[in-house]
Amino acid sequence: MVTKREVVEQLSRGEGCLGKAADDEPVFVLRGQDALAIRTIGFWRDELRKVAPNSPKLDIIHDELNEFLEWQIRHKMKWPD
């Protein structure tokens, strides 16, 4: 997981997922406060496991899910507006 600050810094250097995205490429952002984020990320992980069971991203997504969970335990979540 990266924080907002880290995303902004990466973007300014043309790095990270937003920095690599084309100017007209759609993107989708999940925030820690979103009560549906963990389920959504878990679904994405499960789909990745089906098509690329040896992907190194599976380890990364495992760590990110834990970070989302820890953040949600310490902070208020809400349903999407």
Quick one: 35 and 47 in the same domain? yes
Please tell me what DSSP assigns to residue 33: T
| Integer Cα distance of 65 and 44 in angstroms | 11
Report whether pLDDT(40) > 80: yes
Residues 49 and 39 grouped into a single domain: yes
- 79 and 68 in one domain? yes
What confidence tier does 69 reach under pLDDT thresholds 50, 70, 90? Answer: very high
Residue 14, pLDDT above cutoff 90: no
* 14/54 Cα distance (integer angstroms): 28
Whether 58 and 73 share a structural domain: yes
Alpha helices in the chain (DSSP H): 4-12, 16-20, 37-51, 57-74
Contact between residue 64 and residue 1 where contact means Cβ atoms under 8 Å apart: yes
Are 17 and 2 in a shared domain?
yes
Which pLDDT does position 34 carry in this prediction? 94
**Mean pLDDT computed over 37-50:** 96
Report pLDDT for 1. 67
What pLDDT is recorded for position 4?
Answer: 83
What is the domain extent for residue 59? 31-81
